[in-house]
Structure 1
């Protein structure tokens, strides 16, 4: 992965916030998506019987899209097909889709894409490489695996049952569905998953990458196209040391990707703002997940958090969208971002300062300092320093200037950011 995306893909690194939607038949019984049968918690037949209950009766794609706009999301990613193999669009590659096999009886992907396009939200589609329902999937082993190791029957063949010809048939099915997604929906982003059960050579990842680039150049692809993606995809925790290039944290609002009614462990708006600030400050995007019910409605608790996150993001948009990663560790105790022209530094204050906040090692003079959102001025005072070695920049903030979720101070500098990182004296 390169440190910077090509111009046609730059919308992704500028966008900073997306909404992830895990929606499928698993919402009928509220069980874990795909993994519940793979791990033996639910019999496969019981899991697939949820097809009969998936109706999407109250689904309003425009209401989803409007919520995403209020959340401040610049893109959204929907599970077009999870590991269970059930497609949300009218795939012609097989008959395992919500169109042919569920009471919903409609192409949900087409409606989702149209609703996002009407609001200029970038369209992301999640697609699982693996397919634990396809008869030709569990037909070869990963390179180097012990041939006597049984493994999970949904993913590995029994000893002696390997059949490379059937694996080729599965790859043809995989390419047929990928062609449909590209040609029917022209996604801005393809979010792959399920690559771990085979090697890159077995998947023929280079071939897939070349096909996407030829079929729809400019499509952003995540790193789960092993060795050929545009960005890294850590899950469920902000990296202590951010990846060097473009990256995206995918995170659940509660503890589950899909709808699970017993899971009421929702993160607070303040926690979500903090994660967003830490992620963007490290040069990444936040892809925040919701799990709609089988009828297509989003839980009020999840919608409320999206709304509150979006309201905060709107007040602090200049510090988020279109910015770059901020100061290295040690210059400021908290996240920060830098404007595209590198002349404005944004400092995120999670906690109430004890009279002042401090920035170290900035050679630039501070032309002005203000609290973002209210634009109230902040008194800045340079203390110390010797020759080329800058001192400390003290920023005096009063309690009445603080945002209830997270405050941001904007420092307008006298030129592009110039940092001092050396020892003061041997």
Structure 2
């Protein structure tokens, strides 16, 4: 079969939405969107055009270098009493420089800042009249939120607030168990709690000018949404209205607006020891994958107790800034291509559909000055096609006069063959390890749509499981084969640190598109994540990931 037949594959997984209409139980989890969504279409489109933003987690317990807020759940009364009374007395981030932070974020391509106004502990980072558990009653004694908002506006970035309606300090003062689950309040306390939450939102929405984005973490979301949309009708509510997967990326492209919030290491707040930072290359590749799947990356940092940004975080942001400075057009105002990737080559396309960006990851071994060739099976070139490498003119390589470093391509029956040289010097030692972007103009898709649907997993014995998937709109192509990729699942925080996928044997697809694979060698009691992968025309097209308990 030739590429001119334009057979299309598109990765899709049916993702079950648990969306409740606005009611007293408008519970929206990370991966859910909500039917109670008053976001304006132009604001959601803005998010789809936005490559990434900077998330900042910062709370009163940063002095201890521990998890933000969550140590209070299940804590002894003595611990809670000292937490609420002693930690504010030592909160003094006197080296906090919001202008430095937002300047660095802007260099790294970020279009908005999402700052923690109040996390679950209830500590307010603004001058609030609702509680004395706030930043004004600390040695810092300044409205740190206002400082952040003003610096963000000076940099020309959009202002975002993280807000937790859950409030452990409120629970403590009312002698209620500190928990995120099943907190039982009588009618009077519930009314006080709702009024308390509403007043805090009113302060945030009226005392700081125009607020562009809001991230609601916890319940009750409906009071927050109602209050904030009423006072700021142009605000874009992310979590609480849109899909916001946490510490992971979706397995497939999603056409609706979404963002994924991910930490640089494993911790949201600064953790001086025992954290595992992702490399700058890892973070850049997460951004690329998010954009290839139609989403925005919300990358988190946490200032140190004195307010400074840790060297590990600053260094990675500057590495991202260097990559973005060269390749910004591949991630700004783009949309997904007909497939997300062909192995380590990821795709985005321009809004006018005339340009495709071929993003070559796993490029650390690609030496400066070397020519490499790539065969693309999802892109078809024509007479007007042009090929270039972002950031370089492909005419000159430093210290190599006369060397041919031009970009070449050849459309064949089996694929579009690109041949390019990496010439731009980014590091002194010539070993820039990060993705290279090849820009292809005036091309068209060489494939058309197949939807891969992740169905069920069922244990067949202590060591075996049966995995089921489906190719929607299956056209009976006998060359198409399906398999399942699976691995041990160690939880949300560990998802981005997980080991390689185990590949099952490939099986034919039934006449109605169904396929089934039995796998062996499992361990009873463990959780596994799995995804179907359909191979067709030399392209692996995955479905979304799911988890099952063996």
Using the TM superposition, give the Cα deviation of residue 264 of structure 1 relative to its aligned residue in structure 2, in angstroms: 4.4
Using the TM superposition, give the Cα deviation of residue 214 of structure 1 relative to its aligned residue in structure 2, in angstroms: 2.6
Using the TM superposition, give the Cα deviation of residue 28 of structure 1 relative to its aligned residue in structure 2, in angstroms: 0.7
Distance, in Å, in 1 between the alignment partners of 2:145 and 2:330 is 33
Asked if the contact 1:283/1:326 (under 8 Å) is kept, the reply is no
Distance, in Å, in 1 between the alignment partners of 2:438 and 2:40 is 28
Distance, in Å, in 1 between the alignment partners of 2:380 and 2:322 is 34
Asked if the contact 2:55/2:300 (under 8 Å) is kept, the reply is yes
TM-score, normalised with respect to structure 2: 0.66
Asked if the contact 2:359/2:438 (under 8 Å) is kept, the reply is yes
TM-score, normalised with respect to structure 1: 0.84
Structure 1 counterpart of 2:10 = none
Please list, as runs of the form range in 1=range in 2, the aligned pairs for 1:247-262 lying within 5 A after superposition: 247-262=258-273
Flag the 1:397–1:94 CA change in 2: closer, same or farther, 3 A.
same
Using the TM superposition, give the Cα deviation of residue 369 of structure 1 relative to its aligned residue in structure 2, in angstroms: 0.9
What RMSD in Å do the two structures reach over aligned CA positions?
2.9
Distance, in Å, in 2 between the alignment partners of 1:178 and 1:302 is 31
- 1:90 matches 2:127: yes
State the Cα deviation string for residues 188-210 of structure 1 (Å, max 9, x = none): 00111023xxxxxxx372x5434
Q: What is the aligned residue count?
A: 392
Flag the 1:425–1:155 CA change in 2: closer, same or farther, 3 A.
closer
* Contiguous gaps of at least 5 residues in structure 2: 1-32, 395-405, 426-431, 451-474, 479-550
Distance, in Å, in 1 between the alignment partners of 2:113 and 2:297 is 11
Using the TM superposition, give the Cα deviation of residue 212 of structure 1 relative to its aligned residue in structure 2, in angstroms: 2.6
Structure with the bigger percentage of strand: 2
SS in 1 for 2:93: coil
Asked if the contact 1:282/1:335 (under 8 Å) is kept, the reply is no
Structure 2 counterpart of 1:396 = 419
Flag the 1:134–1:220 CA change in 2: closer, same or farther, 3 A.
same
SS in 1 for 2:356: strand
Structure 1 counterpart of 2:391 = 373
Distance, in Å, in 1 between the alignment partners of 2:128 and 2:207 is 10
Structure with the bigger percentage of helix: 1
Asked if the contact 2:158/2:212 (under 8 Å) is kept, the reply is yes
Structure 1 counterpart of 2:109 = 72
State the Cα deviation string for residues 142-174 of structure 1 (Å, max 9, x = none): xxxxxxxxxx5445688xx74022111101110
Distance, in Å, in 1 between the alignment partners of 2:341 and 2:95 is 50
Please list, as runs of the form range in 1=range in 2, the aligned pairs for 1:121-160 lying within 5 A after superposition: 121-135=157-171, 153-155=178-180
- 1:46 matches 2:82: yes
SS in 2 for 1:292: coil
Structure 1 counterpart of 2:439 = 410
* Contiguous gaps of at least 5 residues in structure 1: 141-151, 196-202, 385-390
SS in 1 for 2:168: coil
Asked if the contact 1:361/1:421 (under 8 Å) is kept, the reply is no
Distance, in Å, in 2 between the alignment partners of 1:281 and 1:378 is 24
SS in 2 for 1:305: helix
Distance, in Å, in 2 between the alignment partners of 1:330 and 1:397 is 19
State the Cα deviation string for residues 104-131 of structure 1 (Å, max 9, x = none): 1111111100001011111111000211
Using the TM superposition, give the Cα deviation of residue 327 of structure 1 relative to its aligned residue in structure 2, in angstroms: 3.1
Distance, in Å, in 1 between the alignment partners of 2:152 and 2:89 is 28
Distance, in Å, in 2 between the alignment partners of 1:157 and 1:75 is 34
Larger displacement relative to structure 2 (248-257 or 3-12): 3-12
Structure 1 counterpart of 2:333 = 322
Distance, in Å, in 1 between the alignment partners of 2:281 and 2:434 is 5
Flag the 1:405–1:95 CA change in 2: closer, same or farther, 3 A.
same
Please list, as runs of the form range in 1=range in 2, the aligned pairs for 1:20-419 lying within 5 A after superposition: 20-40=55-75, 43-48=79-84, 49-99=86-136, 101-135=137-171, 153-155=178-180, 162-185=185-208, 186-195=210-219, 203=220, 205=222, 208-223=224-239, 225=240, 229=241, 231-329=242-340, 333-352=344-363, 355-363=372-380, 365=382, 367-376=385-394, 377-384=406-413, 391-398=414-421, 400=423, 404-414=433-443, 419=447
